[in-house]
Copies of this chain bind each other. A is one copy, B any other.
Amino acid sequence: MLIQLEKNCTNSHLKSIVEKLTNAGYKVTRVNTFNQEYLVCIGKTEVDIRIIGNQPGVKDVHIVTDPNPLVSRQWKVKDTEIDLGNGIKISRDDFTIVAGPCAIESEEQVITIVEFLKQQGIQLMRGGIFKPRSSPYSFRGLGIDGLKLFSNHCKANSIKVVTEVMQVSQIDEMYPYTDIFQVGTRNMQNFNLLDALGKVDKPVLLKRGMSATLSELLSSAEYIFSSGNEKIILCERGIRTFEKEYRNTLDLNAIPYLKDKSHLPVFCDPSHGVGVRDYVENMALASVMAGADGVLLEIHKTPEKALSDGHQTLNFDESKKAFKNIRQLVELRKNLVY
């Protein structure tokens, strides 16, 4: 059961509601987000929701049986939209394209890509400044200085910055320069990081762990929401299977499932997902029809010279074609008897 509280719910009202619920056998968790206050009630007991609904301080009561109630569509039938300012909004109709290099490598690289994105009308740029690398001897990113120059050029061009945060201690220093905090696949169950991002008033792009079940992905989103932040984007980015012909196996089945079970926006990362440059556009288009609200694309002026992930990165010509086709397809999607 999920209870939305009135803004002006007094402490004594709250106490009385919680008492009623606890007596009825529920374990009650109080959740206070940047938007509003909730009570998450876990338990198998049955209670007449009208009685709860009539308590002073209660705005609405919902029967939610999902184990992750806050992110469930059972109480919130409409898609969550996220406003990024400057007229940029994450929503199904706006379909979001996030593009950029795997890693921020130099100011020159940033300038070139920002200019290209501007020209193409792309409003969000991705780029790693802390790179999680399997080997300690690989390039680990430019760090906070890279983020500053990344952010400078984006701000000057009204482009939003999407970049990965790897640990709690980085959040504060990254905050002024970041529009969307990305949680990478290896950190999907870094629960301390999720808790900390729940205290931040900026959106979080949560990537599915490379062998995480979808139920676990939703639980990780529930961590962030229950810590206070409702602006969460789920992202499918490929899972591990026995197949060796591509880097990962992009699991597009996840998209209709997540859209069905949760009100959160769902993105897709075909670049990491299939990991083969020639197949990225096809998989991006497929993800649109699977029902995604946005895609992340790795692009680079000269993928061959990229410091990481060049084999899955589109060059500018390929990117242009992909953007154009995606946009045409999104238009068609609006007109389908869906």
Which residues from 271 to 299 on chain A have a C-beta closer than 8 Å to any C-beta of chain B? 273-274, 276, 278-279, 282-283, 285-291
Q: Is A239 an interface residue (CB 8 A)?
A: yes
Nearest CB in chain B: distance from A50 CB, A: 25
Contact assessment for A279 and B257 in the assembled complex, using a CB-CB cutoff below 8 Å: yes
Stretch of A14-22, A105-113, A127-135, A147-155 with 4 or more beta carbons under 8 angstroms from chain B: A127-135
CB-CB contacts below 8 Å: A239-280 with B:
239-246, 249-253, 255-257, 260, 273-274, 276, 278-279
Q: How many copies of this chain does one complex carry? A: 4
- Shortest CB-to-CB span from A37 to chain B, Å, is 16
Known: A253-B250, A279-B257, A287-B286. A135 touches B244 (CB 8 A): no
Interface size class of A (residues with CB under 8 A): 35 or more
A residues neighboring B (CB under 8 Å): 27, 29, 40, 42, 67-68, 132-137, 166-169, 186-187, 189-193, 210-211, 213-216, 219-220, 222-223, 226-227, 239-246, 249-253, 255-257, 260, 273-274, 276, 278-279, 282-283, 285-291, 321, 324-325, 328-329, 332, 335-338
- Interface CB pairs A-B, < 8 A, 24: A42-B137, A68-B135, A134-B215, A136-B191, A168-B168, A169-B169, A169-B192, A186-B190, A190-B190, A213-B244, A241-B241, A241-B249, A241-B251, A243-B253, A252-B252, A253-B279, A256-B279, A257-B276, A282-B291, A286-B289, A324-B337, A325-B337, A328-B332, A329-B336
